[in-house]
Amino acid sequence: MTSPSSGDSFSTAMERLDRALNRLDISVRSLSGRMRSTAQLHDEGRRLVAERSQLAGELDKANARAERLDQTAEDVSQRLDEAMAAVRSVLEQGDVRG
């Protein structure tokens, strides 16, 4: 038979083992949750990088279009100036003849 002190030791050891296992279980659950959160953050980061790349491409296209529009506006302005000068010239010639 076991003495009372060895039974108490075994009982105490089992309680300590149970507490240690509970702490381990809590730690594993916590780690698992953090790993899921990290994976979600990683996925979100990849999505944001892809979205940023897409937006950068769209911005480049918009900038190129704006530059073309600016050049076209400049060309139209120059042609209008030339047309107005031609009309003035014709009007002045009409005044001189008239």
For residue 16, give the nearest of 4, 27, 24 by alpha carbon: 24
Position 77, amino acid? S
Please name the helix (run of DSSP H) or strand (run of DSSP E) that holds residue 5, with its range, or none: helix 4-97
| pLDDT attached to residue 98 | 62
pTM of the model: 0.56
Integer angstrom CA distances of residue 26 from 1, 36, 71: 37, 15, 67
CA 26 centroid distance within chain: 34
Tokens 């918009």, residue? Answer: 62
Looking at residue 4, what is its pLDDT?
54
What averages of pLDDT result for each successive group of 10 residues across the chain (98 residues)? 70 96 98 98 98 98 98 98 95 79
Q: What is the pLDDT of residue 8?
A: 87
